[in-house]
Amino acid sequence: MSESNQLPPEAELLQSLFGFMVTRCVSAAAELNVPDALVDGPLYYTDLATKVGADQRALHRVMRTLTSVGIFAEPTAGTFALNDISELLRSDTPTSMRDLAVLLTSESHWMPWGRLTDTLRSGKSGPQHAFGNDLFSWFQKHENKDEWDLFNAAMTSFSSATSHAVSEGYDFSGFRKIVDIGGGHGLFLKTLLGQAPQAEGVVFDLPGVVEGAEPADRVSFVGGDFFEGVSAGGDCYTLKHIVHDWSDDHCKTLLGNIANVMDPEGRVVIVETVMPESAEPHPAKFMDVNMLAMTEGGCERTEGEYRALCEASGLTLKAIHPTKSPVSVVEAAKA
């Protein structure tokens, strides 16, 4: 931004302070399935409110705000339509980010983030302050099943935004057995297998996760605890947005378990946002604070930190491959 277009400091600060309002409005619109209601074309706000079951005036005020920041279009006064951004909030598209938008202001995330000051004072995660437990233990309580289901759907939603970028940014075609650790319902692995026609795939995740997965060609689902062990014999082990959830000690256990059973000539492929050493804006910095707020010691790591983590786990860092998305492929081999 040129100096002539630079906002005054007060406006810059207000823009940042109001950011949570935008997030909450996007989440609410996604939860009401407003983007789905606009698939067939623009609607006047009264008709839109009827279609999604909302109060007319309240919905108009939220849609007016979201249009002002570019999330929706307003072709004529009071009439709202989809644009390239809100298309991503539809529930029926392969690249949908709808469930992720809903998750970010659901109880599982909204409440812990509200305790960030306590996290800064104590070093304990937001869930410890909000729920008295770590997030994944809280998810496993019966009364939180809907939140757990939303989380898994959101992780699949998040995968859709990065899976193709990873498959295009790293060559998976030569592998024969790809094991996706913490792979959820298998969207990421299925995308990779499209680039590896000779390979079979294994999704290794918690039993309660893989039980809800739909069968797929060349994919098997195995339940287990990756801190105790993982499926053996793979020549490619992928971990997408798994390593950043855990402390260095936990990651050493997980990566060590993989190193113990992987093909000697195989590869470990870690998919994360890699933290830059410099001060420029980068998505990794936001992801890192999310890990601070939500996990027990999770973080985003620099190249040097990945190198040290690999060396402590029986692996050797081979390369870091950027993709056409915020994530990179951290490639490691058996030491």
Question: Which residues are known catalytic residues?
Answer: 244
3-state DSSP assignment of residue 163: helix
Place of tokens 């985003």: 300
- The C-alpha atoms of residue 82 and residue 55 are separated, in whole angstroms, by 20
Cα distances (angstroms) measured from residue 199 to each of 103, 174, 261, 269, 321: 33, 8, 18, 16, 22
φ and ψ of 251, to 5 deg? -65, -35
Token pair for 21: 């309002």
Strands 43-44 and 73-76: unpaired
Amino acid at 98: R
The answer to whether residues 266 and 258 touch, using CB atoms and an 8 Å cutoff, is no
Strands 73-76 and 79-81: antiparallel
- The C-alpha atoms of residue 117 and residue 277 are separated, in whole angstroms, by 25
- The C-alpha atoms of residue 266 and residue 332 are separated, in whole angstroms, by 9
Cα distances (angstroms) measured from residue 181 to each of 102, 117, 242, 261, 276: 25, 33, 8, 13, 25
